[in-house]
Amino acid sequence: MFNHRSLWHKALDASAWRHTMEYPFHKIEPKWQKTWQERRIFSPQEVPGKPKYYVLSMFPYPSGVLHIGHASNYAIGDAISRLKMMQGYAVMQPMGYDSFGMPAENYAIEHNSHPRITTEENIASMRSQFDSMGFGLDWEREVSTCRPDYYHWGQYLFKKLYEKGLVYRKRSFQNWCEACQTVLANEQVDEGRCWRCHGEVNQKELEQWYFRITDYAEELLDFSKMIDWPERVIQMQRHWIGKSEGTRIDFPLQEDGSPISVFTTRPDTVYGVTFMALPPEHPLVQKWLAENPQDTALRAFCDKVINEDKISRSAADTIKEGIFSGRHCINPLNGSKIQIWITNYVLMDYGTGAVMAVPAHDQRDFEFARKYDIPIQVVIQNPEQNLDVATMEEAYIEPGIMANSAPFDGMDSEAAKEAISKLIEEKGYGQVSSSYRLRDWGISRQRYWGTPIPVIHCPSCGVVLVPDEDLPVELPENVQVGKTTSNPLLSVPEWLNVKCPGCGGDAQRETDTMDTFVDSSWYYARYADPHNSTQPFDPAKASYWMPVDQYIGGIEHAVMHLLYARFIGKFMRDLGWLEADEPFQRLLTQGMVLKDGAKMSKSKGNVVDPSYIIQKFGADTLRVFLLFASPPDKDVEWSDDGIMGAYRFLNRIWRLISGNRDAIQRGLQISVSQQDLEALDAKDKELLYSTHQAVKKWLDDSLQRMQYNTAIAAVMEHLNHCTAIKDPSGLEGAALATFASACRSIPLMLYPFAPHIAEELWEMMGYTQLLHEVGLPQYEERWLTRDLITYVVQVNGKLRGKLEVAPDIDEEELKTHALNVENVQRTLEGFVVKKVIVIPNKMVSIAAAKG
RNA sequence: GCGAAAGUGGCGGAACUGGCAGACGCGCUGGACUUAGGAUCCAGUAGGUUUUUCCUGUAGGGGUUCAAAUCCCCUCUUUCGCACCA
């Protein structure tokens, strides 16, 4: 907590109490939270014709403790939400819990309890912490992914995907985390380690369920439907999908003519193929192994490579190794005989899982060929320096002039790419195609605490989907969590063994559960109709609320969650459940809260507990600090002094308004004419100008730019102007009215950031409406421009004087004035004026040369 | 290695389309009120200087412009993403 200073611990010391600044946030905050809740202002209904605004912050895993990062994240969402409420939108800001998954299971093991119990306890505890922050969340729409009424529809969605051919099962080598005892999707492996526990990941052959996200690869590359997504996230997704265009070519095997398919982006190098590279996992290799059990050298090599962990195998600097298979295939273009090698550097799950190796023009193939003395054939000549196989030290990967490529010799290689592809298609050797880095999404997890996959395995019928009327397939309760080494659901026979819905014979349930990213890939739509018990949601309600107007979450979800959610969103659209092509119109990736430059974590011992801050300084202080410290998409550096600054700011406001309560109330009753205002003396008129300017800046920063730090700065600046008025109670007439209306704007501008104190001050001024009903503060154009404008005068780019003139001054007159400024005259001595440039309302710039 | 973003006081950060660099806050310095200060109020706070008067200054170097933190080129540093993707 506050370990580098102990100042505030003294704040609770009674002897020092009387001098400590203090506004009654302890009373105010619960009061308004209760009022909001009673009046249900955060539970919007669908009102046809009323514009809606859907603000969604990524739902948390219910750890039981509200972290400062949550506070920061949801403070941003709440600011947007309340701003939109002031603007008159029907605002929905729901909240729920991503409550399935390993952490919940591990937490229960740790506490020797059941995840259902610990999860519900944690949810209750988080709920009260959310409320103590004063977030405007619609709890009537709460969802929790681990409850049967939610995962029922996840199972239903699985069935729909299955029926549309987007689910399949495949036996293959998987990323296996030994610590978590489960498989991981490729996206969940980070530098060869588990994204959650950072344990080592190795390869295990398993049968797994997959979602065919690759069917949507092309559409997922279309980002044109988003209004405002960070370019960074789009780039990351684009790169993750990794489309490359090229050609698929079939190389017939010498022995029986059956084809080996390769994918290449360099069809122009096809005459330079000198060997074929296959990974040990390739089906052909597996077939050869099965047919020739006596080939121990091949067997040993394959076993070794497959069992090598993925980190070292996939690292770019791993030494390339291979073994000659003893077999050959034929290059269909020139009939040459090509050796087939089994290697450790080809990936089974990219392209076709086989590579035509062109050592002269691919660095990896080059290294391999040099190591094993495989011939190298130059087919693209470097126009600047002739390539010689004998002396080449690296592959030549640039374009050049075709050589040793029969009919294409002398052609430019870029042109040859197309010509050769065309020839390949004409002759039926292959076809032009695209390949994606994106893999299908493996959703099976060998864990207990997840959505059961609604499938029954029947010895005679095979895979049978659980009928709709039997959904949800509920998780059994009596599982010895943490006590099983294999799939936990296998240990519950009364759940496991069922009758086949097809033939009525003995059958077994699927014991894998779904990746929790499945749960979070459609929750945004469930919020539109969270209690529907006959379908995932009513499409009519979804049509009102969807898409999400503003989605907020961490950059860590740039690829996984956001890509999966887009995929399922598009699928639900294709089913006719949703109308929008994209579920999230705008995306804000908020920054992290750092302390001492590092992410807060228990292990580093630099965690700040938000409830401690709320208790000492109030939720409004915490929110103002978090929003003021930096723009929403940047990291926030935690600062104890910064908290004090925010607290001081709110106290100053409190003193200003509560201290001048009567004057303000009186001033608000006075009706003033335009003439009265025009006649104000300079000091009071200045307050009028600065009020309108502050409101304008505030509106701009908070609504257009979503830059709350500067919006709050505008309020602070405005406060400074208000407190500069020394004796407000002595004011009267238009001057008092001006002061009162300057003060009146403060709660309005504070509301999205510090809603409790804002409501209290508003009430103190004698108003009875809640602030979101009042609407946004307004400004008038007239009071943005002062009677006199200050022009800066520059000579050759340097500030040489200032000029106070009327806003409607004639340009020529202004130039004359500028040239006559004393200091300007002095600077211009010995110079000839070449040009005078006027920037309206800002400056006069004089270009002069020695003369 | 490839790609992207960023670099501004002691600190967090402002400066939106090129137009007074350092808004606002923190911290610091001095003062006021005080038994006291961790409250509050006032003044100051980029560096230098001849301290109402000019010079330098937005990672460094060049360029475009009347005018550059902002645009262009090169270099350096940091962060992030990807990393045998054929």
Cβ of A715 less than 7 A from strand B: no
d(CA A280, CA A282): 5
Q: pLDDT tens digits, residue range A383-393? A: 888 889 999 98
- A709 Cβ partners below 8 Å, 6+ apart? A627, A628, A629, A630, A631
A412 DSSP 8-state letter: B
Question: Which CATH number is correct for A243-436, 3.90.740.10, 3.40.50.300, 1.25.40.10, 3.40.1190.20?
Answer: 3.90.740.10
CATH architecture of A644-784: Orthogonal Bundle (1.10)
> Coil, strand or helix: which one is A258?
coil
> Residue A18 has what pLDDT?
37
Cβ of A645 less than 7 A from strand B: yes
Cβ of A192 less than 7 A from strand B: no
* Closest nucleotide C1' to the C-alpha of A277: B86
CA of A21 to C1' of B41 (A): 14
CA of A633 to C1' of B85 (A): 32
d(CA A232, CA A496): 46
- A706 Cβ partners below 8 Å, 6+ apart? A80, A588, A632
> Residue A483 has what pLDDT?
66
Cβ of A717 less than 7 A from strand B: yes
Exposed, middle or buried, A91 (CB in 10 Å: 0-12/13-18/19+)? buried
> Residue A485 has what pLDDT?
67
Q: Using an 8 Å Cβ cutoff, are A125 and A89 in contact?
A: no
Give the ipTM.
0.95
- Nearest residue to B12 via alpha carbon and C1': A629
Other beta carbons within 10 angstroms of residue A832's beta carbon come to: 10
CA of A68 to C1' of B77 (A): 31
Residue A194 in tokens: 């588990």
> Residue A20 has what pLDDT?
58
Cα-based distances in Å from A170 to A286, A349, A487, A812:
16, 12, 18, 81
d(CA A541, CA A546): 8
Q: Which amino acid is at A691?
A: T
Please give the backbone phi and psi of residue A725, each rounded to the nearest 5 degrees, phi first.
-75, 115
Residues paired with residue A72 on neighbouring β-strands, in sequence order: none
Residue A698 in tokens: 């505030």
CA of A249 to C1' of B79 (A): 42
Q: pLDDT tens digits, residue range A392-432? A: 988 999 899 999 998 999 999 999 999 999 999 999 999 99
| Domain range annotation of chain A | 7-148+518-614, 243-436, 644-784, 789-850
> Residue A21 has what pLDDT?
65
Cβ of A599 less than 7 A from strand B: no
Per the structure, the residues numbered 363 to 402 in protein chain A that have their CB within 7 angstroms of any atom of strand B are: 364
The segments of chain A whose pLDDT lies below 50 read 1-19
Cα-based distances in Å from A816 to A644, A800, A844:
51, 15, 10
Cβ of A841 less than 7 A from strand B: no
> Residue A319 has what pLDDT?
85
d(CA A486, CA A557): 30
Chain B bases having any atom below 7 Å from a protein CB: 3-5, 11-16, 19-21, 23-27, 36-42, 54-55, 66-68, 80-86
Residue A235 in tokens: 């780039």
> Residue A17 has what pLDDT?
38
* CB hemisphere CA count around A222 (13 angstroms): 9
d(CA A123, CA A144): 9
A293-310 burial, b at 16+ Cβ within 10 Å, e below that, comes to: eebeebeebbeebbeeeb
Q: Using an 8 Å Cβ cutoff, are A82 and A772 in contact?
A: yes
* A789-850 CATH fold: Ubiquitin-like (UB roll) (3.10.20)
Cβ of A642 less than 7 A from strand B: yes
CA of A762 to C1' of B20 (A): 38
CATH architecture of A7-148+518-614: 3-Layer(aba) Sandwich (3.40)
> Residue A839 has what pLDDT?
87
Token pair 């508003």: residue: A762
> Residue A759 has what pLDDT?
98
CA of A800 to C1' of B64 (A): 24
Per the structure, the residues numbered 604 to 633 in protein chain A that have their CB within 7 angstroms of any atom of strand B are: 628-631
Cα-based distances in Å from A331 to A128, A272, A733, A780:
70, 10, 96, 78
d(CA A65, CA A610): 9
